[in-house]
Amino acid sequence: MATLGLSAAEREAIEDFKREVIEPSMTQLVILDFWAEWCAPCKAFAPVLEKVAKDYAAKGVVLKKINVDENKLIATQFRIQSIPTVYALFQGQPVADLTPARTEAQLSKMLDQILKQIPIQGEAQSMEEQLVPLIAMGEDVLAAGDAPRAVSVFQQLIEMAPEHAHVIGGLIRAHVAAGQIAEAEAEVAALTPEQRKDAAITRAVSALTLAKEAKPVADLSGLIAKVAAAPEDKDARFELAGGLMAAGDRDAAADHLLEIIRQERDWNDNAARTLLLKLFEVVGITDPWVAAQRRRLSAVLFT
């Protein structure tokens, strides 16, 4: 902002704006709220702005308020024609007009979109960078079959990030893999409705459901022989698939479930297909194994 020809008060106002708004915006996302004492909509929206700014503080978001009556020069520079007007500033430049947002959900959605596109490094982002390799380590340990150690890893991560969906989901799945069903159920019971919507949590809950439905079979060899002798016995084949799943043999389990679907796709109210889809969710929708099994399922259903 040029200061040539301005009064001392105006130059001071500009310096204050640079110090309080522009400088913080170099490393943070500044929510800039233009308001006035006489503006009822401004006062009605203020609690929403303050709440969201507080919730996003760890992500590098800060709220700054500009009273247009006391800062007419700043308001003019931003060409403010009506209030409330709310901008998002980064590195001294407006990056979004937040004025259309009128609810906490709308404002949060807009901020989430902005934060994905700019290099803000708040506490939350720093924590996420630390967690990514640690979560990967926990997943590797779990995939290797060392469930008790995976439980230990994810319990340590919970202490670092108790609200992190991937950490919570990992701990639930580790408990399930370790046969600690009661512990997994306790973790699920503590979830909030919002957390339950996360894909990582959904996957973990499916793992728990699957573990409770796929009952271990004491004598798999006997069931295998029974199915070999009576290939059309879908009840026995379904029981065998569950036993194989409980034993960790997902390939054989998928084979038998797909065979049931091939024989009678709607058998027992789609029980085989439902169990197979739960298995996909537990393994992970983006996993190459799931992609391959989905192709097999499609081939069975559409040929």
- Output the DSSP codes for 197-219: GSHHHHHHHHHHHHHHHS---S-
Q: What are phi and psi of 162, to 5 degrees?
A: -65, -20
Q: Indicate the average pLDDT of the chain.
A: 89
**pLDDT above 90: percentage of residues in the chain:** 56
CA atoms within 13 A on the CB side of 266: 0
Alpha carbon distances (Å) from 215 to 188, 192, 210, 219, 238: 20, 28, 9, 12, 11
3, 2, 63, 1: which is closest to 34 by C-alpha?
A: 63
d(CA 245, CA 254): 8
Give the pLDDT score at 144: 83
By three-state DSSP, how is residue 240 classified?
Answer: helix
Give the pLDDT score at 269: 94
Sign of the alpha-carbon torsion through 135, 205, 163, 288: positive
- The residues with which 34 forms a beta bridge, in sequence order, are 66, 85
**Mean pLDDT on 180-193:** 93
Catalytic residues: 39, 42
Alpha carbon distances (Å) from 145 to 141, 171, 264: 7, 14, 34
Side by side, which strands form the sheet with 29-35?
61-67, 29-35, 85-90, 93-97
Question: Which carries the bigger pLDDT value, residue 3 or residue 47?
Answer: 47
By three-state DSSP, how is residue 129 classified?
Answer: helix
d(CA 121, CA 10): 33
User: What band does 66 get if pLDDT is binned at 50, 70 and 90?
Assistant: very high
Give the pLDDT score at 121: 64
Question: Ranked by mean pLDDT, which of 127-136, 168-177, 209-218 comes out on top?
Answer: 168-177
Specify the residue for token string 């001294």.
92
User: What band does 1 get if pLDDT is binned at 50, 70 and 90?
Assistant: low
Give the pLDDT score at 276: 93
Confirm if 53 and 61 have CB atoms less than 8 A apart: yes
For residue range 206-249, list pLDDT tens digits in order: 888 888 877 777 788 999 999 999 999 999 999 999 888 877 78
Task: Spell out the residues 6+ positions from residue 63 whose beta carbon is closer than 8 angstroms to its own.
Answer: 30, 31, 33, 49, 50, 53
